[in-house]
Amino acid sequence: MLTDAQKQIIIQELIFKTSRSGGKGGQHVNKVSSKVEIVFNVVASQAFNEDELKLLNSTLANKLDSNGSLHVVSQISRSQLVNKNTAISKLFALLDKSLVVSKTRKPTKVPFSVIQKRIDDKVVRSKQKSLRRKIDFKRNVD
């Protein structure tokens, strides 16, 4: 979970890029840059300690570019300010989710009753299939 101090540091380190957005708005869309892209350099950030940086690098490995920057885009609204706030909240949510250490899974043993039920089902299925076969009178006459 990010603290308020970390959020303030991150906001100061952000690089904002705006461009023309697609979607509704008619001719207005063609002249207003409402799409917002945030570039956040995770590797060079002062907001995190070494352990948090290692965790972020491992969890966000697929989302980071070659420079170690994270790109977040928002073009939901026609307003640049709303898109900027949406992009910042997306970034914080992504960082919060990435900083959570997941628990290691303990493999559990298959219960004896489940194994026994599977074997019993196999016996029943075998019995059903054997009853469907044609009777070979030559083999049965001894």
Rounded to an integer, the average pLDDT of 48-60 is: 91
Domain presence at residue 85: yes
Angle between helices 50-59 and 80-99 (to 10 degrees): 100
Domain presence at residue 20: yes
- Using alpha carbons, select from 124, 34, 135, 127 the residue that is nearest to residue 76: 34
List, for residues 2-51, the tens digit of each pLDDT value: 889 999 999 999 999 999 887 777 777 778 888 999 999 998 999 999 99
Q: Tell me the C-alpha distance between 13 and 69, whole Å.
A: 11
Rounded to an integer, the average pLDDT of 85-103 is: 93
Domain presence at residue 78: yes
Check if the beta carbon of residue 60 is closer than 8 Å to that of residue 75.
no
Domain presence at residue 126: no
Domain presence at residue 105: no
Look up the pTM and report it: 0.71
Rounded to an integer, the average pLDDT of 55-70 is: 91
CATH number of the domain that 22 lies in?
Answer: 3.30.160.20
Number of compact structural domains in the chain: 1
Q: Is the pLDDT of residue 64 over 70?
A: yes
**pLDDT value of position 16:** 94
Strand partners, 69: 41
User: 6 vs 39, 52, 70, CA distance in Å?
Assistant: 16, 12, 16
- Structural domain including 13 reads 4-99
Domain presence at residue 119: no
- The rounded Cα 58 to chain-centroid distance in angstroms is 13
Domain presence at residue 75: yes
Domain presence at residue 128: no
**pLDDT value of position 102:** 82
User: 46 vs 7, 43, 50, 54, CA distance in Å?
Assistant: 11, 9, 10, 13
**pLDDT value of position 26:** 74
Could you give the strand order of the β-sheet that contains 15-19, starting from the edge strand earlier in sequence?
Answer: 15-19, 35-41, 69-74
Q: Is the pLDDT of residue 141 over 80?
A: no
